[in-house]
Structures are given as C-alpha cells and as structure tokens.
C-alpha cells in the first residue's frame, strides 16, 4: 500500500427538501384546509477516526464527497425523507485543515472520534406550518436550505512514542529493523527511506512505538532533498532519538545540521526531549570512538550514548533511556486518570 499523508478533499452537505403546498380534499369534508408537509433535512458530512488505517491513499482516487439531499414534503401532512449522512473514515492521528492548510478544524487522535464538517440544510416548512386563525388557507411554503460546500485538507501525523532523527544513512532504518519486526528498506545510499515507517519496540517487558522518517539534510526547511514535510510525523512523540553517524568525520556539524532544521521547522519540535546516540560504533576503534563521542558531547552539551544497529551493541541501553523519558511524559496523564500503564 502506498503511503500518502496529505490529501485535498471537496465536501458538500445535502440541501433540505422543499416544503409542500397542498390542501386536504376529501368527500364529505367541507373545510379541508392545508396539509402540506415539511421537507426533509439534508445529510451531514462527518469525519471519523477508525482503526486499521495508516495512510490517506483512499483520498487520492476520490476527492469529492457529497451527502444526499432531503426529499420534498408531500400532501396529507407527509414530511420528506432526510438525506443520508456521509462519513469520511480516516486514520487515527489525522488533522483536518481549512483550505488555507493552516487553520485546524479538528485533530482526531483516538479511535471513534467524530467531527461534523458540514451540516445539512434544514427542510422547508410546508403550508400546514403557516396555518393560523386569521390565515386558514396559506398558499406558500418555504424552500429547503442549501447545503454547505467547502474544501478541506487531510493531513496524517503518525502517532508514535519515539521519533528517529538524523542525516540520511545515519542508521535509523537499521535501528528500527534491529529492535522491531518492521522491515524498512536498508541500503548504502542516501534517502533510502522515502516515507515514514512504524515499529513496535520492546524492552524490559514494555512496548512502545517508534517512527522512522526520511533523513534531513541542510536546507530541508527550504525544500532541499525530501524537505521537512515528514517532520509532522514526530510532532506527537514523547521523545526524539537523534542518531549521529559515528563514521562521519564531522559529527558535531552533523548534529547541528539537524538541530538547525528542527528550529527552522518551528513549533515545539525543537524543545522536545531528545536522546542523542552515536551510531555505527562497530566500525570505530577505541581512540576514534572516544574522540568522536567527546566532540558530540561538546556539541550537544549533554551525555551521548553509543550503539550499533548492526551488532546491536548498546541498543538496550538506548531503549531504556527512551523508555524512562516516555514514562516521565505519560505519568501526569495517568495520575489524573487514576491508573498507570507503562
């Protein structure tokens, strides 16, 4: 299945049915009077987060969704049938935006969440509705209210506990493959990962979700390389794992390149908790490892873990460090709800 995380959709709610102008005509009923029924309401347009979806690919091939119009009222005080609603089923983690791609209408982060995107038009009143003591034979009815038509954007942001960051070929996909059942494409050339991947990682009897996104390069916020369009998939993460290629001769510069792109992206991403790890230490001797670890610690101003996704050396320590941050982030929510889930 092809990954698609942004889709433009046109929606329209149903129009209400017209009210009826009708008079009761029956044998032996001298004064029949008006009996025109009201029109039915138009259908609404909803969006609902459902389980089992992880892409917006369905909205690539169909972009127009129109709810059903209400039926008109009829004689004998019969109300017209209301139009059927239409529901856009989207993956959990989908943001719904206005046409300007900036104004957020809703953020669906849990299965079963629903939001009304366009309300159907009300049905018009039939002439029975206008009968009064001084106007006992009204000859007019209301037309149905028009539906609402609008253009929206659907933007998927994957829900994960940990987000992987790093330059292309920093070893992010190898780390995900080594710690989970995910099987991302791995090769020795840049931009092997072209779309985000999710993996469920376990350590010390606890599982959490890790998101691997395509690598960033200098100028990604200006559209260079694949750009920073996939950074939205790590906005919801509790912690970021920043992997730095230990075989690079410029580990400090590599670190600052990613941090600069996070700051240029904006929002709260640059302020999220980060765990920094020097990767590919299996290709370094003791002196090179000590030198590059010291350079990276000076650049980030904090401790640096060392690991190798290939030999799996140090991987467990990195996972435990991530788990500590995740537990600290989730603890306040569990305390409010009165329950604890690791």
Rounded Cα distance between 23 and 16, Å, is: 22
- Residue ranges at the known binding site: 166-173, 191-195, 212-215, 279-282, 308-310
Beta bridge partners of 130: none
- Residue ranges at the known binding site for GTP: 166-173, 191-195, 212-215, 279-282, 308-310
DSSP state of 80: P
- Token pair for residue 117? 């995107």
Contact indicator for 154, 66 with CB cutoff of 8 Å: no
User: What's the burial of 53, exposed, middle or buried (CB within 10 Å: 0-12/13-18/19+)?
Assistant: middle
Rounded Cα distance between 269 and 256, Å, is: 15
- Helix (H) or strand (E) segment spanning residue 89: strand 86-91
Angle at which helix 315-337 crosses helix 172-179, to 10 degrees, equals 70
- Residue ranges at the known binding site for Mg(2+): 173, 193
Q: How many other CB atoms are found less than 10 A from the CB of residue 124?
A: 25
């Amino acid at each position: 299945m092809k990954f698609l995380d942004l889709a433009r959709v046109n929606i329209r709610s149903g129009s209400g049915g017209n009210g009826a102008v009708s008079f009761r005509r029956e044998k032996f009923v001298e004064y029949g009077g008006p009996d025109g029924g009201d029109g039915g309401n138009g259908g609404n347009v909803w969006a609902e987060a459902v389980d089992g979806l992880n892409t917006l690919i369905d909205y690539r091939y169909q972009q127009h969704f129109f709810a059903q119009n209400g039926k008109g009222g009829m004689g004998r005080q019969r109300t017209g049938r209301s139009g059927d609603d239409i529901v856009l089923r989207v993956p959990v983690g989908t943001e719904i935006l206005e046409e300007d791609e900036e104004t957020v209408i809703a953020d669906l982060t849990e299965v079963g969440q629903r939001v009304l995107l366009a309300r159907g038009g009300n049905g018009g009143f039939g002439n029975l509705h206008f009968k009064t003591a001084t106007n006992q034979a009204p000859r007019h009815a209301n037309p149905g209210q028009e539906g609402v038509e609008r253009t929206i954007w659907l933007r998927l942001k994957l829900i994960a506990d940990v987000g992987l960051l790093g330059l292309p070929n920093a070893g992010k996909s190898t780390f995900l493959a080594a710690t989970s059942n995910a099987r991302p494409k791995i090769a020795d050339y840049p931009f092997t990962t072209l779309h985000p991947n999710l993996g469920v990682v376990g350590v010390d009897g606890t599982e959490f979700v890790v998101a691997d996104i395509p690598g960033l390069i200098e100028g990604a916020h200006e559209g260079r390389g694949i750009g920073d369009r996939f950074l939205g998939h790590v906005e919801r993460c509790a912690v970021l794992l920043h992997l730095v290629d230990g075989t690079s001769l410029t580990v400090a510069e590599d670190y600052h390149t990613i941090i600069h792109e996070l700051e240029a992206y904006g929002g709260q991403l640059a302020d999220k908790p980060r765990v920094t790890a020097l990767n590919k230490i299996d290709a370094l001797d003791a002196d090179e490892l000590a030198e590059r670890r010291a350079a990276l610690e000076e650049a980030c101003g904090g401790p640096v873990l060392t690991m190798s996704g290939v030999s799996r050396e140090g991987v467990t320590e990195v996972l435990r460090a991530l788990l500590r941050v995740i537990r600290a982030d989730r603890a306040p929510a569990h305390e409010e709800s009165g329950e604890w889930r690791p």
